Amino acid sequence: MAAKELNDMDVCEKIAFKPETEKPFKARIVWFNAIGFLILHLAALYGVFLGFTAITWKTFIWGFFVGYLSTESVTIGAHRMYTHKAFKATFATRLVINFLFTLAGQNCMWVWVRDHRQHHRYSDTVADPHDASQGFFFSHIGWLMYKKHPEVLAKGKHIDMSDIEKDEIVMFQKKYYKTLYVLISIALPTVIPYLCWGEDLFNSFMWSYLARTIITLNGTWCVNSWAHLYGVKPYNTDIYPRESEFVAFISSGEGWHNFHHTFPWDFRAAEFGKHYNFSATVITQLAKWGFVYDLKEAKPEMIKSRILKNGDGTHPKHTQLQKGAEWAPWGSKDAPTSEHASSRRNIVSHG
C-alpha cells in the first residue's frame, strides 16, 4: 500500500459561514416527503416482520448481503473516495462502486457528494443540509422533510464539483438515475430470490428492497445525527462531530466522526484503523490488489498535535502524550488497540 501523507487540509476544508440571504427563514414542512417517509418506515417494519416469519433463510441472508454491499459502496465509494478524494480507483472499481451505490438507493452520486461536501464545509450551521445544531430528528431524517433553508440552496451552488463532473460513470448514473434506480435498487434484488430459489415475489420485495433500503438509510443517517451529538471529542472540541463506537459498528467504520471531520481526507476515517472499521480494511486490501491507489492518511505528528491542542482529554494516549511519551502510529506494534478504545469509553463513563 502506498499511503500518501498530507501536510494540510486540502479537501473539504471547513470555512467560516457568512450568510448570503437576508429574509428571516420560516421552516416549512414538505408534507409529501414527511408522509412518504412515515409510510415507507411502517412498510419497512412490516418487511422486517416478514423477514423473520415468512421468507426462506436464503432470502434472509440475501437481504443482509445486499445491504452490506450497498453500505460499503456508500462508505468506501461515495464518502471516502468521491467526496473526500481520500484515494483514487481504477475504471473497473469505479464502475462496481457506482453500480453498488445505485443499489443502495441513496440518491445519485453527484447529489450525495455535493451534499456531503457542503456538510463538511459549513458543518452544523444553517448552510449544512443536515445541521445537527437543530437536534437529532432534524439531522437524522427531518432535513428531508423540510423545505431547504435558503442558505443551503445558496451555498450549494458554490460547491466545487468539477472533479466529479469529469467522471463519466457518475455523470451517466446522474443522467439515467431514475431508470437505473428502478432496475438496480428495486427490481434486481427482488427478482433474484424469486428466480433463483423460488421466493415469493412480494415477500422478496418487502425484505430485499424495502426493509433493506430503509435500514441501511437509517445507518447512514446515524452518522449525521448520532455521531454529531453523542460521544467524545479527542481530536477537536471546536466542532460537533464525535467518536461513536455504536455508529462505527453499524456503518462499517463511519462513526469515528470527530477524527473524520478533523482529517476528512484520511482514507481510514479513523485513527484506530481496524477497530469497527471494516471499510478501511477493505480499502487497504483493494490497494494491495491494485484496484485503488494514492491512499491519503494523516501523519501521526499531525494527529498528536491536534490531540494536544484541541482534544477533550479522552484520547487513550492523551495523558501519556502530555508526559512526553512516544507516539505510536496505527499499524505499529505499540499502536493503540481496541483495548485502548475501550479504555477511552471507561474514561468517559467514569469521568
Smallest separation (angstroms) from Zn ion to the CB of 332: 26
Closest of 291, 289, 295 to residue 330, by C-alpha: 295
> Which positions from 266 to 305 touch Zn ion by CB under 5 A, shown as an x/- string?
----------------------------------------
CB of 253 vs Zn ion, minimal distance in Å: 12
Beta carbon of residue 83, minimum distance to Zn ion (angstroms, whole number):
6
Applying CB under 5 A, which part among 155-163, 173-181, 238-246, 313-321 lies near Zn ion? 238-246
CB nearer to Zn ion: give 241 or 255.
241
| Residues 270 and 259 sit within 8 Å (Cβ to Cβ) | yes
Binding window for Zn ion (CB under 5 A); candidates: 39-47, 207-215, 236-244, 272-280? 236-244
**Which window, 62-70, 107-115, 147-155, 239-247, contacts Zn ion (CB under 5 A)?**
239-247
Contacts of 100 (CB under 8 A, 6+ apart): 69, 70, 72, 73, 77
**Least distance (Å) between residue 80 CB and Zn ion:** 8
Nearest to Zn ion by Cβ — which residue?
241
Residue number with CB closer to Zn ion (233 or 317): 233
Residue closer to Zn ion, measured from CB, 212 or 260: 260
Q: Which residues contact 267 (CB under 8 A, 6 or more apart)?
A: 80, 86, 87, 280, 283, 295, 296, 297
Burial of 6 (0-12, 13-18, 19+ CB in 10 A): middle
For Zn ion, give the closer residue by CB, 241 or 273: 241
Copy the grid coordinates of residue 139: 439531522
Phi-psi region at 56: left, alpha or beta (left = phi > 0; alpha = psi -120 to 50): beta
Q: Which is nearer to Zn ion, 82 or 278 (by Cβ)? A: 82
Piece in contact with Zn ion (CB under 5 A), picked from 152-160, 181-189, 240-248, 309-317: 240-248
| Minimum distance from residue 119 beta carbon to Zn ion (Å) | 6
Angle at 131 between CA 310 and CA 22, to 5 degrees: 110
User: Closest separation between CB of residue 151 and Zn ion, Å?
Assistant: 17
Interface with Zn ion by CB under 5 A: which range of 34-42, 184-192, 235-243, 311-319? Answer: 235-243
- Nearer of residues 130 and 304 to Zn ion, judged by Cβ: 130
Q: Which residue is listed with cell 427531518? A: 142
Q: Taking the C-alpha atoms of 69, 116, 283 and 64 in order, what is their torsion angle to the nearest 10 degrees?
A: -20
Question: Least CB distance from residue 293 to Zn ion, whole Å?
Answer: 20
At 297 the three-state DSSP class reads: strand
Report the SS3 class of residue 89: strand
Q: Which is nearer to Zn ion, 44 or 109 (CB)?
A: 109
Name the DSSP letter for residue 56: -
The residues that touch Zn ion, with contacts defined as CB under 5 A, are 241
